[in-house]
Amino acid sequence: MEFHVLPYTDEWETEWDRFVMKESGNGTFLHTRRFLNYHPKKKFTDASFLILNEKKAIAAVCPAAAVVQDGVKVLRSHPGSTYGGLVMRASYRRAELVVDIVRTADEYIAENFGRCELKATPDLFCTEDSSAYQYALYQRGYSQYLELSTYVELRGKTEENIWAGLDRNKKRNIKACRERGLQLRKLETDEEIAGFHSLLEGNLKKYGAVPVHSVADLLDFKNSRLTNETVFLGAFDEGRMVAAGMLFYFEQSRVLHAQNLPTDLSITEYSPVSALYYESMLLALRMGCKALSWGISTEDRGKTLNLGLIGSKEGYGSNKNLFRTFYKEY
């Protein structure tokens, strides 16, 4: 089968999103134009492209942006998403087809860029096996770096199983929150979403960082753009928000992902975020999810493992999985 590359233009938006959500094996809503378009157009130099088969149907898409680094033009998985890489047609299971698609993409990138960095969709979020895709990148001379992530397996679990999987410290913290009468519920109003953002700002400030999303972004997600994919939770002590969370629901893979879980840093006598973590697990269970994802615990492109962070996540009975970024110099 013959394939060719077509740079993305807005006329492909509807077809792109339909392909990602309905026909791909490793696409998520994070790859859709519906999601990516919340970023202002001038924020990134979009370099996304499609790969079409000989019948002009989409075989793969690549959400990407172009940047210049040290004088080299670089193609990167779209910075507006957590991960990207080639999003492949689910029905293309034969290794020969996958290899041909990757070869077509690689030749196009080599003609237009001096370096490529592709963050592959983690296996946890794929509905089809991605081994052939990852092998094809290796075959084309790509190197990779790894980041370590954690998730809680929920298939076949009950609330009792989940509680039994917590370590002693987590159980003690959650019991203390219950005794205190901590209220755990979804955030509903715009004012509560602003309260979540304020907590997040406070948490990030101590690291010299600021939130990726503005209050306006979060309200756009909740009220319009991502109404079915975004969940906000809060922990309240006598009416005051003391911890909160933003979670993303990935329908195809049935995974709930904890994007942010900030807490009130002035509280030292108990741990409201422990109760919020546990409530997130129970929510994922009630939603019929196969897993709750906590995200990576590594820094500096995987070179540093934050032992305190991953140790805390392990206290909830977490498993490990890998995030892979493939890169190549031309």
- pLDDT confidence of residue 80: 85
∠ Cα 13 19 25 (to 5°): 140
Measured distance CA(229)–CA(222) in Å, rounded: 8
Quick one: 71 and 135 in the same domain?
yes
Domain carrying residue 102? 3-141
The band of 150, judged by pLDDT with boundaries at 50, 70 and 90, is very high
Quick one: 30 and 81 in the same domain?
yes
- pLDDT confidence of residue 42: 81
CB 275 within 8 A of CB 235: yes
Is the pLDDT at 95 greater than 90? The verdict is yes
The band of 39, judged by pLDDT with boundaries at 50, 70 and 90, is confident
Looking at the domain assignment, is residue 303 inside a domain? yes
- Bridge partners for 77 per DSSP: 64
Quick one: 242 and 217 in the same domain?
yes
Percent of the chain with pLDDT over 90: 92
Measured distance CA(18)–CA(61) in Å, rounded: 11
Is the pLDDT at 169 greater than 90? The verdict is yes
Quick one: 8 and 66 in the same domain?
yes
Looking at the domain assignment, is residue 113 inside a domain? yes
Quick one: 125 and 190 in the same domain?
no
Measured distance CA(16)–CA(6) in Å, rounded: 12
- pLDDT confidence of residue 208: 87
* Best mean pLDDT range from 42-46, 253-257, 260-264: 253-257
Looking at the domain assignment, is residue 328 inside a domain? no
Looking at the domain assignment, is residue 330 inside a domain? no
- pLDDT confidence of residue 165: 96
Measured distance CA(270)–CA(278) in Å, rounded: 15
User: Last residue of a domain, which of 141, 166, 192?
Assistant: 141
Quick one: 103 and 176 in the same domain?
no
The count of domains in the chain is: 2
The domain that holds 54 is classified in CATH as 3.40.630.30
pLDDT tens across 210-224, in order?
A: 988 899 999 999 999
> φ and ψ at 286, to 5 degrees?
-65, -30
- pLDDT confidence of residue 13: 97
Is the pLDDT at 73 greater than 90? The verdict is yes
- pLDDT confidence of residue 1: 85
Looking at the domain assignment, is residue 47 inside a domain? yes
Is the pLDDT at 185 greater than 90? The verdict is yes
Looking at the domain assignment, is residue 89 inside a domain? yes
- pLDDT confidence of residue 92: 95
Quick one: 315 and 292 in the same domain?
yes
Is the pLDDT at 43 greater than 90? The verdict is no
Quick one: 31 and 79 in the same domain?
yes
- pLDDT confidence of residue 277: 95
Q: What Å distances lie between residue 170 and 112, 164, 302, CA to CA? A: 51, 11, 27
The band of 75, judged by pLDDT with boundaries at 50, 70 and 90, is very high
Q: Which residue has the tokens 């990138």?
A: 109
Percent of the chain with pLDDT over 70: 100
User: Last residue of a domain, which of 111, 141, 171?
Assistant: 141
Quick one: 95 and 21 in the same domain?
yes
User: Last residue of a domain, which of 117, 141, 165?
Assistant: 141
- The dihedral over CA atoms of 280, 282, 285, 287, expressed in degrees to the nearest 10, equals -70
Quick one: 136 and 167 in the same domain?
no
Looking at the domain assignment, is residue 56 inside a domain? yes
- pLDDT confidence of residue 224: 93
Looking at the domain assignment, is residue 146 inside a domain? no
- Longest CA–CA separation in the chain, Å: 65
Q: Going along the chain, which residue ranges are E strands?
A: 3-7, 45-46, 49-53, 58-62, 64-69, 72-77, 87-88, 115-119, 143-153, 183-186, 230-237, 240-250, 255-260, 291-296, 298-299, 304-305, 319-329
Measured distance CA(290)–CA(282) in Å, rounded: 12
Quick one: 204 and 120 in the same domain?
no
Quick one: 173 and 275 in the same domain?
yes
- pLDDT confidence of residue 113: 97
- pLDDT confidence of residue 245: 95
